Structure 1
Amino acid sequence: MNKGTEMPSVAMPADDKHSTSPVMLSCRGLTRVYREGPQDVTVLHDLALDVRAGERVAVVGSSGSGKTTLLNLLGGLDRPSAGEVHVAGQSLSELDEAAMGRFRNRHIGFVYQFHHLLAEFTALENAALPLIVRGHKRKPAMARAREILTRVGMAERSEHKPGELSGGERQRVAIARALITDPSVVLMDEPTGNLDQSTAASILALMDELARDSACAFVVVTHDPALAAHQDRILRLDDGRLTPSE
């Protein structure tokens, strides 16, 4: 399809329950092009999306459809070829790398399929790390980490290192780490993809509870139909374009 015949970008609307909540994450004209040899490959085409406070959006699609690329752009880990991403009203394109790092630490939480916890640190230390990186003193950072670990059901395991925890426990610590800064946006990349069915169900229940109590926006990339069904909206990413899932 040539440029003159492309469909205009349309922002995906919020679900009715959150339609009056403030927009925490938005993008317009979001495009990502990669160079492969002599050719340019467009992975994402002119995407538009709004996600409001307290809203949970699932993005589904086949492998290689660009879901992780989208998540990286929304989180400021990668720069778009064109278009804009705004988080909590801030245009990410206006931030240099140092400012982006500080902004991400304050406003964006990440949860990955593989938890990326530091093996030499306890669950408590891993959860506290974003606050320590920000420059908080260790004692209040640890107190906040203990509070958030209690919230995700990990109080009794807080002094254990990742190698002493189950997969579900490690993922709960990763969720605590993502939430400890009271972020504007939480981005999740296959958060239940490495868990057995029972453990994944417990993480789903935890996510439901956290979403009810939080004003942040959640975007979850997943292949898991059960996880997608737990969100307020499901969007499909195909051929680099977002559409509501039927």
Structure 2
Amino acid sequence: MTRQSETAPAIREVMLECRDLTRVYREGPRDVTVLDGLELRVRAGERVAVVGSSGSGKTTLLNLLGGLDRPTRGEVRIAGESLLSLGEAALGRFRNRHIGFVYQFHHLLSEFTALENAALPLIVRGQRKKAAEALARELLDKVGMQERADHKPGELSGGERQRVAIARALVTDPSLVLMDEPTGNLDQATAASILALMDGLAVTAACAFVIVTHDPALAAHQDRVLRLDGGRLAEQARHA
């Protein structure tokens, strides 16, 4: 497969930028610095994997990038907008418009079907239910869930729930997709289909991806691999 980075223009818009990103937590009498002056730039259409040991701060980083947490110092900019400049209501609208999330543990609503879960971000945005569900069904088809669209999460396997979560993240055509172990519960064939879908979106929709993973094969498939260590990111060399 031809890599997206080989076919894209040499310079593309910076979709995500972190400057001096720092997060300090208070634990009893002491401060614990999880991220320490972290810098990151991801361009439109670029796929970046973040690897690191357990407890290195990968989930904290995703939460900051998605506006689910606020930094102690520094800023996150997405599509040119500083998240720090947004109040809670505006931040919620911005996330709905620009950011897709794939959590490690799905976070699907148990009372809704797979189709309703996947369509929910569009309905929250104000789109009519029929149109939202039509778009959601297209994404469910692409992740191999067309036969399970009317089932609720309790009737789905872990891998099936993960595919619904991926469809939900992509249905809004976001600028940035944040993924936490997106293929961890998927069989090899389904994981390959998800990677192909991500490849296509990176090229055709100029969607940027930041993917936290422990899977070397998934990391190696991305344009860049960054290791989080000591609160900062460093480029990881690729092995031939």
Q: Does the alignment reach a TM-score above 0.5?
A: yes
- C-alpha contact (below 8 Å) 1:18/1:52 kept by paired residues: no
5 Å-filtered alignment, 1:65-104, equals 65-104=56-95
AA aligned to 1:182 is D
AA aligned to 2:72 is S
Instruction: Give the percent of matched residue pairs that are identical in Structure 1 and Structure 2.
Output: 78
How far apart in 2 are the matches of 1:22 and 1:159? Answer: 39
5 Å-filtered alignment, 1:209-220, equals 209-220=200-211
The match for 1:123 among 114, 130, 153 is: 114
Structure 1-normalised TM-score?
0.88
The match for 1:233 among 198, 220, 224 is: 224
The equivalent residue for 1:186 is 177
RMSD: 1.9
How far apart in 2 are the matches of 1:149 and 1:71? Answer: 24
Q: Secondary structure at the match of 2:36?
A: strand
Say which is worse superposed, 140-149 or 223-232, in terms of deviation.
140-149
Deviation at 1:142, TM superposition (A): 1.3
- Residues 130-175 of structure 1 deviation map (CA, whole Å, 9 limit, x = unaligned): 0111222212111221222223332232112223333332222111
Deviation at 1:121, TM superposition (A): 1.1
The equivalent residue for 1:108 is 99
How far apart in 2 are the matches of 1:88 and 1:123? Answer: 30
Deviation at 1:213, TM superposition (A): 3.4
Does residue 193 of structure 2 align to residue 208 of structure 1? no
- C-alpha contact (below 8 Å) 1:15/1:233 kept by paired residues: no
- Residues 48-70 of structure 1 deviation map (CA, whole Å, 9 limit, x = unaligned): 11111111000000000001101
Deviation at 1:20, TM superposition (A): 0.9
Deviation at 1:199, TM superposition (A): 4.6
The equivalent residue for 2:16 is 25
Q: Secondary structure at the match of 1:236?
A: strand
Structure 2-normalised TM-score?
0.90
Question: What is the number of equivalent residue pairs in this alignment?
Answer: 233
The equivalent residue for 1:38 is 29
- Residues 100-130 of structure 1 deviation map (CA, whole Å, 9 limit, x = unaligned): 1111011100001111111221111000000
AA aligned to 1:63 is S
Q: Secondary structure at the match of 1:20?
A: coil
Q: Secondary structure at the match of 1:231?
A: coil
- C-alpha contact (below 8 Å) 2:143/2:193 kept by paired residues: no
AA aligned to 1:218 is F
Does residue 236 of structure 2 align to residue 245 of structure 1? yes
Q: Secondary structure at the match of 1:85?
A: strand
5 Å-filtered alignment, 1:147-226, equals 147-197=138-188, 199-226=190-217
Q: Secondary structure at the match of 2:217?
A: helix
AA aligned to 2:175 is S
Say which is worse superposed, 82-91 or 164-173, in terms of deviation.
164-173
The equivalent residue for 1:63 is 54
The equivalent residue for 1:132 is 123
- C-alpha contact (below 8 Å) 2:99/2:174 kept by paired residues: yes
- For structure 1, the 5+ residue unaligned runs are 1-13
Deviation at 1:196, TM superposition (A): 4.8
- Residues 21-63 of structure 1 deviation map (CA, whole Å, 9 limit, x = unaligned): 1111111110111111121111101111111111100000000
- C-alpha contact (below 8 Å) 1:30/1:85 kept by paired residues: yes
Deviation at 1:207, TM superposition (A): 3.1
- For structure 2, the 5+ residue unaligned runs are none
